[in-house]
Amino acid sequence: MDRVCNQFVPFPHARSRLVTEAADSVFKGIIGSYGRIKNAPVFIAFIGDMDDPFVQEEVGYTGEGIILAATALGLNTCWVGGFFRAEIAASLAEVSDKERVLAITPVGYAQESESWEERLMTGFSRSHKRVALSKLVRGLPRDKWPNRVGVSLEAARLAPSAANRQPWGFDVQDDGITVFVRTLGPQFNVSKRLDCGIAMLHLEVAALDSGCKGEWEFLPSPQVAKFRIRS
Ligand SMILES: Cc1cc2nc3c(=O)[nH]c(=O)nc-3n(C[C@H](O)[C@H](O)[C@H](O)COP(=O)(O)O)c2cc1C
């Protein structure tokens, strides 16, 4: 995972750092939808340079690439955006003055059993459902979608988001898909653009898997970025 963190750096102002000491000290007991994190042997800090206007989506995209790589290795992770001690994380991850730790994940093997206390605290089933694609998509009607766009949108729909708020929307055009912030409402401690960056990674991985390549163009709020399909 250390190698993955150092090698998967798709944007110059977003990075991931594996921290192997004192991981437990950054988590705050019950943290929400995933219950309790304890005895985490290591954690990964997702770090952004705050001078970059697109830092949130870049960190979301980069972090989700790292999370999927860990998952492919059989490791368990959990994005933690709110319930962590940011100052301790920043000092352990050795960030510069311009940088901030926007989120972290523990990395390890999760215990299978979950206590009733944890199930009650986390509202287990509600916090894992996803909104139907029809509520997220605008633009071209489905029968006019470019080839294999449906697979990419479905992968993006399944992305995780802070408090499971799924803030993304997708505008389908002839030459690509624009990701935008669809929902109003509070940010909590995590930018909705960071969630959208996670969905961007899912969208592109599914596109690549079906043989479709493209490039991202970042856009101002409330749009996030357009995936321009290479013809
Ligand atoms: C950026 C981000 C921050 C998150 N922060 C927390 C957190 O602080 N505590 C927590 O329990 N879960 C956190 N989560 C996990 C989400 O609550 C979870 O992904 C969502 O409820 C969907 O559940 P699922 O991924 O199991 O389907 C976070 C997820 C993301 C993407």
Cβ of 104 closer than 6 Å to ligand 1, yes or no, is no
pLDDT score at 115: 67
221 CA to centre of ligand 1 in angstroms: 23
Cβ of 124 closer than 6 Å to ligand 1, yes or no, is no
Q: What residue's CA is closest to ligand 1, atom 23?
A: 128
Which of 62, 76, 79, 130 best tests ligand 1's pocket when mutated (most atoms within 8 Å of CB)?
Answer: 79
The CA-atom distances, in angstroms, between 12 and each of 49, 66, 118 are 9, 16, 39
pLDDT score at 180: 98
Which has more confidence, 117 or 142? 142
Average pLDDT, the chain: 92
Q: What residue's CA is closest to ligand 1, atom 19?
A: 160
78 CA to centre of ligand 1 in angstroms: 7
Q: What residue's CA is closest to ligand 1, atom 2?
A: 162
Cα separation of 45 and 94, whole Å? 10
pLDDT reading at 93 higher than 60: yes
Cα separation of 77 and 192, whole Å? 20
**Mean pLDDT to the nearest integer, 141-169:** 95
Which of 101, 161, 181, 195 best tests ligand 1's pocket when mutated (most atoms within 8 Å of CB)?
Answer: 161
**Mean pLDDT to the nearest integer, 8-15:** 98
**In the chain, beta strands by DSSP E:** 14-19, 42-49, 76-77, 99-108, 137-139, 168-173, 176-181, 214-218, 223-229
Q: Can you tell me which residue has the tokens 């995209």?
A: 61
**Mean pLDDT to the nearest integer, 56-83:** 96
Could you tell me if 139 and 187 are in contact, meaning their C-beta atoms sit under 8 angstroms apart?
A: no
Cβ of 43 closer than 6 Å to ligand 1, yes or no, is no
pLDDT reading at 197 higher than 90: yes
| Burial environment of residue 56 by CB neighbours within 10 A (0 to 12, 13 to 18, 19 or more) | buried
18-61 confidence digits (pLDDT tens): 999 888 889 876 566 666 788 889 999 999 999 999 999 999 99
pLDDT reading at 112 higher than 80: no
Place 119 in a pLDDT band, splitting at 50, 70 and 90. Answer: low
